[in-house]
Amino acid sequence: MAETTNFGNTLGWGKTPLLLVIDVTRAFTEPDRPLGSECGTLISNVNRVIAAARQSGTPIMYTRVAYDEPDLSDAGLWARKIGQLGDLCVGGTGIDIDPRLDFEPGHDPVLTKKYASCFFGTDLTSRLNAAGIDTLVIVGLSTSGCVRATAVDAIQLGFRPIVVEQAVGDRWQEAHDQTLADLRAKYADLDTLDAVETKFRSLASADGRAA
């Protein structure tokens, strides 16, 4: 196969970003759960991005996967393919935002979804358009699943996806690494944690907020 040297152009940030914190919920962040893995370092890094976004006045949205039907009929064929989705049913603790995350109940919006992409079957596009958002800064779980699916849909729908390398994670390191390479080549910009913090500080300065 030919070399892909022409891939991976940089999109850059637009004028109005939103920080999208994807599925940092107990079902995925507690290792003793069926879908869980160790996420302590990831959560610390996500909290750094959240803090920088708050300081800059950038809006933040959190997401979760949650199913209303005990038989997972609202999960469709995905429940059959993946299995182990019972921990994501409404009424259980698996759908709760991890308590280690900087999340303000009653203040921070939470988007509930049933599939990988934050756009599929939700009103996210309408919310972003109404707020004039043109850039999605993406953190959370999992790199090869919901992060990837959301980034692909974002660019297809006209939003600039910025994936924060040290603030996304996966239960499989190989899948994480390969997905980041694929996203960089075709679907999203990959920014480092330090670079994103610096960008948010510049937005805070431009807005007259304390740096």
Read off the tokens for 107: 């203040």
CA distance 141 to 147: 6
Residues that are catalytic = 146
DSSP state, 183?
A: H
Residue owning tokens 């995350």: 101
Taking only Cα atoms into account, the Rg of the chain, rounded to an integer number of angstroms, comes to 17
Q: What is the largest CA-CA distance in the chain?
A: 52
pTM (predicted TM-score): 0.93
Beta bridge partners of 111: 63
Q: Could you tell me the strand order of the sheet in which 60-65 lies?
A: 110-113, 60-65, 17-22, 135-141, 160-169, 189-191
Q: Give phi and psi for 109, each to the nearest 5.
A: -70, 145
Chain mean position to CA 16: 17
CA distance 119 to 133: 14
The predicted structure's pLDDT at residue 4: 53
CA distance 90 to 68: 5
| Sign of the four-CA dihedral 174, 79, 37, 60 | positive
The predicted structure's pLDDT at residue 69: 93
Mean pLDDT by 10 residues, the chain (211 residues): 68 97 97 93 98 97 95 89 86 96 96 97 98 98 97 98 97 95 97 97 77 50
* Domains of the chain from N-terminus onward: 17-204 (3.40.50.850)
The predicted structure's pLDDT at residue 1: 46
β-pairing verdict for 135-141 and 160-169: parallel
